[in-house]
Structure 1
Amino acid sequence: MAYTDDQRLKMNNDDSVQFIALELIRPNPYQPRKTFEEERLNDLASSIQQHGILQPIVLRQTVQGYYIVVGERRFRASQLAGLTEVPAIIKELSDEDMMELAIIENLQREDLNAIEEAESYKKMMTDLNITQQEVARRLGKSRPYIANMLRLLQLPKNVAQMVQQGALSSAHGRTLLTLKDASKIKKTAKQATQESWSVRYLEEYVNGLVSKDISMKLDRETKGSKPKMIQQQERFLKKQYGAKVDISTSKNVGKITFEFKSEAEFKRLIRQLNKDYKEY
């Protein structure tokens, strides 16, 4: 159902279009959209100058004045166009209605970026004390969709800004969250934007990092499970030969591995292990 079909916005016999002074109108405090494209507002302002406002904005009257329920773009464009008043319909609505209708209007016009959308769902849950399931029901979304959008709020601030500005998509953002570690998320996000990675490529890259982390963790756990005597011998040999040593054992065989990082280290180690070693 489109937001204009919402029963709360339907005109009834008591409704009439009134002209309200712009100075008496305030933006919707529950407006989820933080940014308005200047170029699109200017285009709308030009249209209003030529043709006027074709669709009245919807207002709610309070003791402080009028608050916009639906039509903030038209209100802002009217200011740019130099109007002093706008056609409006006054509706009796609750704070809850104002919040829901503002979100629905922006969602159906696809005016929200992913972070603004996620923040609007979070605000609904907090201010109205409702669950993800209830948010989904009220807005005509699935609960998994709401949950996935809310996950974006876990992104580090600078990465969330990349999503907000369109440098990364919401799918990029959710993929990055697989990394868990904030520093890795930031580093990978920067690389992804600089090199214009697709979501598919990012997924493969992140999966590789995660697999590597798991492998390193298993290696540490394996080493930590070695008998104390073997760990002591590894430390002793490392101190004696100046090289990292790994001792591994199985049922009928064992292995001592010395690690070297250059030819010079290799020759030094060989001389220590074999006093008769000679270079040819």
Structure 2
Amino acid sequence: MKKVETFASIFGEDHSEVPSEKQDGTTSLKLDDLIPFRNHPFKLYEGDRFNDMVESIKNYGVIVPIVVRKVDDKYEILSGHNRVNAAKEAGLTEVPTVIKEGLTEEEATLIVTETNLMQRSFSDLAYSERATVIATRHTAMKKQGVRNDLLDEIEKLSKAPDLSADSTFRPMGEKLRSDQNIGEEYGISPRNISRYLRINELSAPLKDLVDEGKIAMRAGVDLSYLSQENQEMVEAIISENTFKVDMKKAALLRKHEKEGNLNWNTAQKIISGDMLKSTGKVKPFKLEPTIISKYFNPNEDKKAIEKTIEKALDFYFSQMKNQSHDIEEGEEMIE
């Protein structure tokens, strides 16, 4: 009987061929053919969590297929960045995949955010990640005709054995079809929803600084109104000097941009705190009783004392000003 050679034995295992779909609707794709989602907004696993995933894949393989879409001659990952990284570390060359076609950019982004949210509770996300989830959901809920059939399918595909049982978890289709607003779903006020939407307008480096605590969240809201150019300038100043930005500094930066006089020097003075020191109010203080008794008798009226002190200070500072002026004139004569 003549031995029939397989396709792989003739052309080799690495022969590039259109992926064949399995009976369960998944396809095996080579890891080298995968690229990450552009500007992926979520933090990837590190440390023990990543190592545990690597060990699991070594023992059982990639159980839950990743989700991708074709981009040119590659496949862009929509769901499964951590699984792909762990599979590479575990020594795999291929992973089970679901290829989605005909997606709009909004639908692709929605898959990225929803499948990430399904693995972790909202409270576990960093500020920038929460902002991405809320902004994406907000856009989707404003649009009509959201593809719930697509979301239901992705929800089924993404059900891993260790999904969080947190109370914030609900199937994607239910989330988008619910009459509840976003604030009720995540247990945050409409005002905070608005703040997260503003945080989403920050540049990526400033979002990282918010996550790191170098920019207070509410300060980040003010900074989100700055132009992209000024956001880059602010990020450079903070990173170069390891400064932090609070609400007062952020409000000053926004005010100066609105007035058209925000430049590097001004921004640096604000962010370093020098401008706040120079424009801040003098802290209230009390004169020691011994000083009062030295110049005033015990029965003196309080208002009268304050008026006398004010006059004395006016005289003192006028004398100091005249003295400074005389010194400057003397220096000019020497020159």
Q: TM-score, normalised by structure 1?
A: 0.49
Q: Would you tell me which structure has more strand in proportion to its own residues? A: 1
Larger RCO (CA within 8 A; separation ≥ 6): 1
TM-score (norm 2): 0.42
